[in-house]
């Protein structure tokens, strides 16, 4: 039987709670392959245990894994530490060191939740798009960067090769979907965006079947809310993708439902897009579905398509049967662990 080596980095806040539910669901799968889990500290938990948000054994463990399942990082306790000790630094360094350049964030609507969005049902019905966010460059990593008392600066920098790599990823993904790529940028102001347009147009020549369009990011942020069904693959740089993906989570009803994959040539990491939510940590009320869906994306990446679709079908069935976590229904809700129990038991039924 095939064995996959999974590095589990649950991190801080609700990270541990939501990861435990994803593991519960993975354990409940029929035994058609083995998953070997190894846990490592990251973020604030890494700082507390090893004085480092990305301890060496965590980085090595992640590098040597077949896939990484990641929870969430951050919290007040570590906010005032210097930059290289902050939890976020651990995640950014992990992405960079592992070369996880393609961040894939699917925006999907569950039929059972069509009336749970802040947006009208008629606006969101039929929405199904993916944000492909460049994850290892841009203003997040650009040098020079500095902060002084009265002045601070960051640099948005992209090379042609970096843009080409993520553009190819987006076009390949579009080929398996509705064959549309919308490149989101700020080419009316930023030189980096002008280069993005040039490179993305060049790459598109190898994909005749894919329709390419461009939107300025300010306009795109409005279009995502007023007409989300127009999109298939949104291709964008690091910071724009960060912002647009939180915005897009409104469509599905809760950020607690949005999963992501971060893909590199050698490694892949799967995580919910939400943060560590310290305000609700330890209360067993978080929504574990984003992490469970991330685990399903992980199985798909590993080629275990049957297991992956059985998790997705189980989630669909649990939602169809009316179960909701507190983020979706403040009056009548089940706990985080109950939601995990339900998906785990439905996995064997669907
Ligand atoms: C995300 C998060 C991270 C990011 C933070 C925690 C560094 O917001 O994955 O979207 O900005 O990339
Ligand atoms: Mg974000």
Catalytic annotation present for 186:
yes
- Say whether 93 sits in a helix, a strand or coil: helix
Catalytic annotation present for 110:
no
pLDDT at 315: 98
pTM: 0.97
Nearest to 263 by CA among 155, 158, 168: 168
CATH top class, domain 117-252: alpha beta
Nearest-angstrom CA–CA distance, 259 and 281: 19
User: If DSSP states are collapsed to H, E and C, what string results for 118-161?
Assistant: CCCHHHHCCCEEEEEEECCCHHHCCCCCEECCCCEECCCCCCHH
Residues 6+ apart with CB under 8 A from 319: 110, 112, 113
Nearest to 127 by CA among 204, 235, 223: 223
Domains 1-107+258-350 and 117-252 share a fold: yes
Give me the CATH code for the 1-107+258-350 domain, please. 3.40.718.10
Residue closest by Cα to atom 6 of ligand 1: 88
Domain boundaries, the chain: 1-107+258-350, 117-252
Catalytic annotation present for 246:
yes
**CA distances from residue 75 to 15, 96, 193, 243, 270 in whole angstroms, order as listed:** 11, 22, 33, 20, 21
> Is 141:174 a contact under the CB 8 Å cutoff?
no
Q: Which of 12, 185, 232, 242 is catalytic?
A: 242
Render pLDDT for 135-163 as a digit per residue (tens, 0 to 9).
Answer: 999 999 999 999 999 999 999 999 999 99
Question: Cβ of 44: how many Cβ atoms within 10 Å?
Answer: 28
Pocket of ligand 1 from Cβ distances under 6 Å: 88, 91-92, 242, 273
pLDDT at 349: 87
* Percentages (nearest 5) of helix, strand, coil residues in the chain: 45, 20, 35
Nearest-angstrom CA–CA distance, 162 and 173: 17
Nearest-angstrom CA–CA distance, 138 and 238: 6
Nearest-angstrom CA–CA distance, 139 and 237: 9
- CA-91 nearest atom, ligand 1: 7
Name residues of the chain where pLDDT drops below 50: none
Q: Quote the ligand 2 centre to 94 CA distance (angstroms).
A: 15
Question: Cβ of 285: how many Cβ atoms within 10 Å?
Answer: 19
β-strands 268-272, 259-263 pairing? antiparallel
Where are the alpha helices (H) located in 28-146, listed in sequence order? 44-50, 56-63, 76-79, 87-97, 121-124
> Is 337:310 a contact under the CB 8 Å cutoff?
no
Residue closest by Cα to atom 9 of ligand 1: 273
Q: Quote the ligand 1 centre to 347 CA distance (angstroms).
A: 30
Residues 6+ apart with CB under 8 A from 341: 24
**CA distances from residue 269 to 53, 209, 218, 245 in whole angstroms, order as listed:** 17, 30, 29, 17
Strand order in the sheet with 211-216: 34-39, 3-11, 67-72, 268-272, 259-263, 102-108, 128-134, 233-236, 180-185, 211-216
pLDDT at 163: 98
Residues with CB under 5 A from ligand 2 (ion): 242
Nearest to 347 by CA among 302, 297, 292, 294: 292
Q: Is 36 exposed, middle or buried (0-12, 13-18, 19+ CB in 10 A)?
A: exposed
């Amino acid at each position: 039987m095939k064995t996959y080596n999974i590095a589990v980095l649950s991190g801080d806040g609700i990270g541990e709670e939501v990861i435990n539910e994803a593991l519960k669901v993975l354990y409940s799968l029929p035994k058609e392959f083995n998953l070997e889990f190894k846990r490592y500290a990251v973020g604030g938990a890494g700082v507390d245990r090893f004085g480092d948000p990305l301890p060496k054994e965590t980085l090595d463990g992640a590098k040597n894994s077949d896939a990484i399942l990641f929870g969430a990082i951050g919290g007040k306790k570590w906010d005032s530490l210097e930059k290289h000790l902050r939890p976020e630094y651990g995640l950014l360094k992990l992405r960079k060191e592992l070369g996880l350049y393609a961040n894939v964030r699917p925006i999907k609507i569950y039929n059972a939740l069509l009336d749970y969005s802040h947006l009208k049902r008629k606006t969101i019905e039929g929405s199904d798009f993916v944000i492909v966010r460049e994850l290892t460059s841009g203003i997040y990593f650009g040098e020079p960067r500095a902060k002084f008392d009265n002045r601070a600066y960051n640099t948005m920098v992209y090379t042609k090769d970096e843009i080409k790599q993520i553009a190819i990823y987006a076009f390949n993904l579009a080929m398996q979907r509705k064959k549309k790529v919308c490149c989101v940028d700020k080419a009316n102001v930023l030189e980096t965006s002008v280069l993005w347009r040039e490179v993305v147009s060049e790459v598109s020549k190898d994909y005749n079947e894919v329709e390419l369009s461009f939107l300025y990011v300010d306009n795109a942020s409005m279009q995502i809310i007023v007409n989300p069904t127009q999109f298939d693959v949104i291709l964008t740089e690091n910071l724009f993708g960060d912002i647009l993906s939180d915005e897009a989570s409104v469509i599905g009803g809760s950020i607690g439902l949005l999963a992501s994959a971060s893909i590199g040539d050698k490694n892949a990491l799967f995580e919910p897009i939400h943060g560590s939510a310290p305000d609700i940590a330890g209360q067993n009320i978080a929504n574990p579905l984003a992490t469970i869906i991330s685990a399903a994306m992980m199985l798909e990446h590993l080629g275990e398509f049957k297991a992956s679709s059985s998790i997705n079908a189980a989630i669909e069935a649990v939602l169809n049967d009316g179960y909701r976590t507190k983020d979706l229904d403040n009056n009548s809700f089940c706990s985080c662990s109950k939601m995990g129990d339900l998906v785990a038991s439905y996995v064997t039924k669907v």
